[in-house]
Amino acid sequence: MKPHLVLRVARPTNDLAAVIHFYRDGLGLQELFRFSDHDGFDGVMLGLPGEAYHFEFTHAHGHDAGRAPTADNLVVFYMPDRDAWEAAIQRMKSQGYATVASFNPYWDRQGVTFEDCDGYRVVLQNADWHVVAQQS
């Protein structure tokens, strides 16, 4: 049997607490693993159990992680179920996050964009990825 592919998106941050609040409490991801002072790094992995992706956020002691290089650095979640999409938007807003206009207006047509404390953006897109891919 072929091994199952898993995607880890890893990036640094200067504020683990704020990133955790955004991705866990706002987006609804779960904390999968956390580590402290591992070779000078603290970090957390957030995702959904059983899914083939997760995010790793790290902070290197004494290092400035900087901000997103552009307003077009995105993670896009395709959410075809309108009720689930609307609930996700409401959860983000209830945690204090406001929508921002996307750099690329394409994402505003069927989606909403939020920005984390580091300037990285997440699009909640009310579309089915398989349908979008077939239209390309």
Homologous superfamily assigned to 74-135? 2,3-Dihydroxybiphenyl 1,2-Dioxygenase, domain 1 (3.10.180.10)
CATH code, residues 7-60: 3.10.180.10
- Specify the pLDDT at position 1: 64
Identical fold at 7-60 and 74-135?
yes
- Specify the pLDDT at position 129: 83
Burial class (CB in 10 A: 0-12, 13-18, 19+), 36: exposed
Number of helices (H), then strands (E), belonging to the chain: the values are 4, 7
Q: Where are the domains of the chain?
A: 7-60, 74-135
* Residuewise pLDDT in 10s, the chain (136 residues): 667 899 999 999 999 999 999 999 999 999 999 999 999 999 999 999 999 999 999 999 999 999 999 999 999 999 999 999 999 999 999 999 999 999 999 999 999 999 999 999 999 999 998 777 777 6
Between the alpha carbon of residue 55 and those of residues 65, 87, 108, 136, the distances in Å are: 16, 21, 24, 27
